[in-house]
Structure 1
Amino acid sequence: MTSVNDTPVLPIDDTEPPLITQQEHIVFHDPTSADYTVFECQATVRDTGKTFRMHTTQVSGGRTGAVCIARLDPTGIDEHVEARYLIARHWRISTHAWGWEFPRGMGEEHESAEETARRELKEETGIDVPVERVNVVQRIHADTGVLRDSIAVAEITVADADIDAARPAINHTGDTDWELRNAHWVDTNTLRAMIANGEITDGITLACWAIHECRESAVQYK
């Protein structure tokens, strides 16, 4: 994992955690549905001694998932042509709606985060790139209050030749993710406008784009 700035922006002064956790155990586990697990934990407030129960969830055995920020750089010498990024419509049963998202998925056993990102991009779009073109820039948590899982933010460099090679799979029903529709390459300004207009509502996609934008700005002004 790379870092554009190793110096913390704000001073860190962490004291002892306010909660003491104990007696953690599994209260639900469904291995057939993304290896979904619910944990119950009894916690004690350090200052008051008050106890209460908390529940957290985990999928895929706690293996790190990956989000793919696939970037297609312009070819030729036209300086006005910008890089473009791949977003697609994805059906989510939790919201019963379609939404624009970056390709993503859960990790599998014995996979690195880079390998997970590469596999997910291929499975969902048909685009196959060497793992050397996958750069995990950060790991995030979608909801630290409830979800245990970590997610690798992977920037992936894609070439026109990769897209041309993927067309047979894209055009052949069943070779790519059945949940995805309407994949598009869009430039930075289009992505920003979609976010500003409320067209992108997926929190993980929004978080990953914010990380990407901050990294781009940090490199530009470093």
Structure 2
Amino acid sequence: MKNADELRPRVPLQEIRRRKVFEEAGGADFTVTAVDVKVRDTGANMTLHVASVKQGRPGVICVTVVERGGEDFYLIARHWRVAVEDWLWEFPRGMGEQGENPQTTAIRELHEETGLWAQPDTVRQLHRLHADAGVLQDDVRVMEIRLDHVSSIPVLDSVKQGGDWELEDLQWLRSADITNMIREGQLIDGLTIAAFSIREIDKRKQ
């Protein structure tokens, strides 16, 4: 009987070398790496490009939930995204820093974007995903953050006073509201749609 390695499909490319063609100094440490490869079946040579931030350390997307009256409310906001020159509805998210684990990153990012603090025992990893494995060296952890310990749904009017220029219009929305936004094309961010779907699937397992 064949073992797992024998059953795994053969890697179609032979990697020749990797070389950095762009590296940002500071900031998000954005890097573009050229990967020279040979196609095993044809012998053809080609160069592929891979982009990464923070040396490919795990990032997080924060599925922040408050349960009231037997119903879940999700925290969502509009973010200004230069790449598409538009405001997009998204869950809070961010990149990991040196020495952080995904739980620590999620707590930090939630606070930086919303002013809310979460306790470590209210944060758990639901899943991991790649946003676009065709070009990105990324590792996004889907983190559920439950804030059920607060006495009421937190008011976030004061958050905008913190000067987060990329964030606008924080709201707590029901699952049905977010589903309708996706259906009507108002919510089009891929990571947020994936994270919401993962959390809804996980909820059905409980």
TM (normalized to structure 2)?
Answer: 0.90
For the pair 1:28 / 2:22, whether they are aligned, the reply is yes
Aligned residue for 1:199, secondary structure, equals: coil
Alignment root-mean-square deviation, CA: 2.0
Q: Is the 8 A contact 1:66 1:151 kept in 2?
A: yes
- What's the offset of the Cα at 1:131? 1.6
| 5+ residue gaps, structure 1 | 1-12
Q: Is the 8 A contact 2:50 2:137 kept in 1?
A: yes
- What amino acid sits opposite 1:56 in the alignment? V
TM-aligned CA distance change 1:167 to 1:201, over 3 Å: closer
Residue deviations 1:163-203 (CA, integer Å, cap 9, x gap): 65x758526x22x6332111111111111100000000111
- What amino acid sits opposite 1:182 in the alignment? D
Q: Is the 8 A contact 1:88 1:100 kept in 2?
A: yes
TM-aligned CA distance change 1:98 to 1:207, over 3 Å: same
* Number of residue pairs matched by the alignment: 200
Out of 65, 85, 107, the position equivalent to 2:96 is 107
- What's the offset of the Cα at 1:110? 0.4
Out of 188, 195, 199, the position equivalent to 1:208 is 195
Residue deviations 1:117-175 (CA, integer Å, cap 9, x gap): 110001001110112211011111100000001111000101334865x758526x22x
Q: Please give the residue correspondences for 1:1-222 in structure 2 after superposition, counting only pairs within 5 Å.
A: 13-74=7-68, 78=69, 81-159=70-148, 160-161=150-151, 164=154, 170=159, 173-174=161-162, 177-217=164-204, 219=205
Identity of aligned residues (%): 39
- What amino acid sits opposite 1:117 in the alignment? A
- What amino acid sits opposite 1:180 in the alignment? L
Residue deviations 1:8-62 (CA, integer Å, cap 9, x gap): xxxxx52211111121111110023410000001111111111100000000121
Aligned residue for 1:71, secondary structure, equals: strand
Q: Is the 8 A contact 1:71 1:86 kept in 2?
A: yes
Matches of 2:104 and 2:167, distance apart in 1: 21
Matches of 1:113 and 1:22, distance apart in 2: 33
| 5+ residue gaps, structure 2 | 1-6
Aligned residue for 1:53, secondary structure, equals: strand
TM (normalized to structure 1)?
Answer: 0.84
